Structure 1
Amino acid sequence: MSFFVLSIVFFILTLLFTGYMRAYALKKNIIDNPNERSSHSAPTPRGGGVAVVCSYLLGLAFLTYTGQLDISVGLTLMVAGFVIALLGFLDDHGHINSMLRLAIHFLVAIGTVLSLGGFGEISVFSGVQLGFTANIIAVLFLVWLLNLYNFMDGINGIASMEAITVTISMATLYLIIKSQLNSDILWLLAACVSGFLLWNFPKAKIFMGDACSGFLGLTLGILALLALKQGTALFCAWLICLGVFIVDATFTLIRRVLSGHKMYDAHRSHTYQILSRKWKSHIPVTVSVVVVNIFWLLPIAYLTVSNYFIYPELGVFVAYVPLILLCLLYKAGTKND
């Protein structure tokens, strides 16, 4: 079976499974009711992203079984992803204490870093050795990415479009630079998420839910760390392609904490939420994210892996400056009305 055909199969599988999950959510009354953080006005079933999780895990198992994916990489992605997805699924069905949830996030992140062999050999700015500190940073990176993905999953299609454009962008870069990294798992994730997207955009018939948003954040983080094993420039390319989510979530959180708000307080002050209210629609915001990812972040990522910058870290700086300016312009972290 060609990988193109396999991607189509998993796209259709996710599409159908999402429909089943919508019927299940309606039957079990798993409904997302609008609150102070919501950008939606109508109650909508949630948990549809479970279809993405199950399809992708099944796809990883198939690639691992057929020898197309290294067994250690496959098991790391499957085990870590399953635990985070299960945690999110249970949280979707009832409330899990936030500190317990965060503790499990850290345990999974630590286990993942250990499974990947650690990152003590990593250096930045072409020579500065991080040593054991790199492992701590890697753990924090995974925990933050899986949480920020949940924060950024607030309007129709945005979390799905981010995952699709980022994975396709990075898979394209892998092909251009002839990377030894497996790009099949990126195309597979894009195919699975695309199957869910048709239920979530332009009008959301079902939401993704914590089970999938956390799963996507963690999975993308693991894929980025696998790239770090090959080189700092490729990891920086991942940071660049994920720039919209990383900058908006990080800038907003820092500004709110500095203003005296608690980290876990619900709010609607992310840049994308402000813009969705300003433009009175989710569609132009989600489409804008796709445009920025393809026409700004992807070219900068390409220049970074092509050694255009003296240091690859400068590519991240160049990519992030306009995104930070947008956060400042629209007063992210302060406007909550």
Structure 2
Amino acid sequence: MSLLMVVAILIAALLAAFLLTGWMRAYALNAGLMDIPNARSSHDAPTPRGGGVSVVVVALVGLVWLAWWGALPWAGLVALGGGGAAVAAIGWLDDRADVPARWRLLVHLLAGAWVVMWAGGAPALPLLGVEWAWSWFGGLVLVLFIGWLLNLYNFMDGIDGIAGVEAVTVLAVAGGLLWWAGAAGWALVAGLLAAASLGFLVWNWPPAKIFMGDAGSGFIGFMLAALAVLTWADAGLTIWAWLILLGAFIVDATLTLVRRMLRGERFYEAHRSHAYQHASRYYGSHRPVTVAVGLINLFWLAPLAVVAALWPAWGVVALAAAWLPLVALCLRFKAGLPE
């Protein structure tokens, strides 16, 4: 596939997501699909929701097109498309009817198992010069990883633009690493998702004109986790690189969850105690926090992800170097502590 065709695909995905998000906003306003602020919200005005459906539609159509043209293995389409459609569908229902958490979690774990099955199980884990064949245990860990990442992406989608910035920057860097590794098809998939997320982000940039909704946030979180597993298995991009790139979201969400559980709080209830939420109140605006996440991803995490990709055996060391300052930053902004 020529470079001109690649550029055309990415521009088409961006424009399609932009236009579809605008249509979704008009539909949400007419149908009364509004996010009404409450005591746990980080916004002040009623705002249309469900805009993330545009990313879902553009991504799924784009994946089918890429598989049809031979840029994406059909197994990759089945793994990503099947699991992603299921996650988006349960999220869409939850946006409208509050599906019980146990049923959402069941769908999430089944989608994770679906991906791991198509990946052929857990690849050997490079760990300080040793290739650890972790067999069924590794497969279980990866299923839980996918389930956790798609849920934490929903938790982290709490201020304007942050989920879109995370998706665009992580996927753009991952796409570059995959292209460098010779996995052009997977790089194009990452680029497609980044372009679709950017089309949505234009509408969600602070102050947001529409929110993503559970369908969109769960879908993007799933796609990021699924790509991490599938490209590790098929293209050799080590899981350490993906964990580093996703560090801003993983560290904040995980540290917040642990601290809330240690205080005996119900971790699944809505709250405003993530580090990024404390930071947005401290600065009196969503924009500086959203911009900071993008800068951290591009100028701190991306170089360390390159290190992990070049020297996979030492990826865990690069991961520790990447995450420790993030832990300190989240503690500085009181992750998991009440207001």
TM range (shorter): over 0.9
Q: Establish whether residue 184 from structure 1 lines up as the match of residue 188 from structure 2.
A: yes
Shift of 1:117: 1.5
**Paired residue for 2:272, among 257, 265, 268?**
268
**Paired residue for 1:311, among 310, 314, 328?**
314
- Is the deviation greater in 120-129 or in 40-49? 120-129
Q: Which SS does the other structure have where 1:191 is aligned?
A: helix
Q: Establish whether residue 81 from structure 1 lines up as the match of residue 84 from structure 2.
A: yes
- Is the deviation greater in 45-54 or in 168-177? 168-177
**Paired residue for 1:320, among 319, 323, 327?**
323
1:273-303 CA distance string (max 9 Å, x none): 0000000000000000011001100011111
- Matched-pair identity in %: 44
Q: Where does residue 278 of structure 1 map in the other structure?
A: 282
Q: Establish whether residue 66 from structure 1 lines up as the match of residue 92 from structure 2.
A: no
1:10-60 CA distance string (max 9 Å, x none): 111111111111111112111111123311011101001101100110000
Shift of 1:75: 1.5
> Are the counterparts in 1 of residues 123 and 232 from structure 2 also a CA contact under 8 Å?
no
Q: Establish whether residue 13 from structure 1 lines up as the match of residue 27 from structure 2.
A: no
Shift of 1:106: 1.3
Shift of 1:67: 1.1
Q: Where does residue 120 of structure 2 map in the other structure?
A: 117
Q: Establish whether residue 249 from structure 1 lines up as the match of residue 249 from structure 2.
A: no
- State how 1:131-150 maps to structure 2 within 5 Å: 131-150=135-154
**Paired residue for 1:130, among 105, 128, 134?**
134
**How many correspondences in the alignment?**
335
Q: Which SS does the other structure have where 1:35 is aligned?
A: coil
Shift of 1:305: 1.5
Q: Establish whether residue 22 from structure 1 lines up as the match of residue 22 from structure 2.
A: no
1:141-189 CA distance string (max 9 Å, x none): 0000000000000111100000000011111122334446620001111
Distance between the aligned counterparts of 1:303 and 1:79, measured in 2? 32
> Are the counterparts in 2 of residues 160 and 197 from structure 1 also a CA contact under 8 Å?
yes
Distance between the aligned counterparts of 1:224 and 1:77, measured in 2? 11
State the TM-score, normalized to the length of structure 2: 0.95
Summarize the Cα distance change of 1:121–1:175 in structure 2 as closer, same or farther, 3 Å threshold: closer
**Paired residue for 1:93, among 96, 105, 117?**
96
> Are the counterparts in 1 of residues 48 and 210 from structure 2 also a CA contact under 8 Å?
yes
Distance between the aligned counterparts of 1:178 and 1:190, measured in 2? 19
Distance between the aligned counterparts of 1:77 and 1:138, measured in 2? 15
> Are the counterparts in 2 of residues 13 and 195 from structure 1 also a CA contact under 8 Å?
yes
AA in 2 matched with 1:2: M
Q: Where does residue 218 of structure 2 map in the other structure?
A: 214
Q: Where does residue 53 of structure 1 map in the other structure?
A: 56
Summarize the Cα distance change of 1:89–1:233 in structure 2 as closer, same or farther, 3 Å threshold: closer
State the TM-score, normalized to the length of structure 1: 0.95
- State how 1:135-174 maps to structure 2 within 5 Å: 135-174=139-178
Q: Which SS does the other structure have where 2:12 is aligned?
A: helix
> Are the counterparts in 2 of residues 120 and 133 from structure 1 also a CA contact under 8 Å?
no
AA in 2 matched with 1:23: A
AA in 2 matched with 1:31: M
Instruction: Output the aligned Cα RMSD.
Output: 1.6
Distance between the aligned counterparts of 1:27 and 1:189, measured in 2? 28
Shift of 1:66: 1.1
Distance between the aligned counterparts of 1:332 and 1:289, measured in 2? 15
Q: Which SS does the other structure have where 2:110 is aligned?
A: helix
Shift of 1:231: 7.6
Summarize the Cα distance change of 1:260–1:21 in structure 2 as closer, same or farther, 3 Å threshold: same
Distance between the aligned counterparts of 1:235 and 1:120, measured in 2? 9
Summarize the Cα distance change of 1:184–1:245 in structure 2 as closer, same or farther, 3 Å threshold: same
Summarize the Cα distance change of 1:185–1:314 in structure 2 as closer, same or farther, 3 Å threshold: same
Distance between the aligned counterparts of 1:109 and 1:227, measured in 2? 15
> Are the counterparts in 2 of residues 30 and 46 from structure 1 also a CA contact under 8 Å?
yes
- Structure 2 gaps, min length 5: none
Summarize the Cα distance change of 1:57–1:310 in structure 2 as closer, same or farther, 3 Å threshold: closer
